[in-house]
């Protein structure tokens, strides 16, 4: 049974993105580019962002731990933008400053 009726037509790409992001431990962050590179598509950082935007299971997929190359938080983060994301990260011990995680934040 290959997918009876998936209401979520996740593609392989998305599946891999979610899988990698789900594995990011609390207190640590990864960049879109790193996730993309890990999938084998180093230039697909933008697509990674798209996939996270379509995050099917927010509570299960800690997408707040993904930031851009400069450590910048997501402006369009679900419900609250950077504020909400910053709050989640701070709760895990990640230092945020001016909407960005510190340069030396564990990756």
Partner DNA sequence: ACGTTGACGTACC
Partner DNA sequence: AGGTACGCCAACG
Residue numbers annotated as active site: 63
Binding site for DNA (CB under 7 A): 9, 11, 13-14, 31-33, 41, 43-55, 58, 63-64, 66, 68-70, 74-78
Q: Which is nearer to DNA, 53 or 87 (CB)?
A: 53
**Burial class, 79, CB count within 10 angstroms (exposed 0-12 / middle 13-18 / buried 19+):** exposed
Distance CA 74, CA 52 (A): 11
Shortest distance, position 95 Cβ to DNA, whole Å: 19
Q: Judge contact between 65 and 21, C-beta under 8 A.
A: yes
Shortest distance, position 16 Cβ to DNA, whole Å: 9
């Amino acid at each position: 049974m290959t997918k009876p009726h998936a209401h979520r037509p996740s593609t392989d790409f998305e599946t891999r993105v979610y899988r990698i992001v789900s594995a990011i431990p609390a207190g640590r962050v990864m960049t879109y580019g790193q996730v993309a590179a890990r999938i084998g598509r180093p230039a697909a950082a933008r697509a990674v962002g798209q996939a996270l935007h379509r995050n099917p299971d927010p509570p299960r997929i800690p997408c707040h731990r993904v930031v851009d190359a400069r450590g910048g938080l997501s402006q369009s983060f679900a419900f609250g933008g950077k504020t909400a994301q910053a709050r989640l990260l701070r709760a895990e011990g990640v230092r945020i400053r001016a909407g960005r995680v510190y340069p030396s934040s564990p990756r």
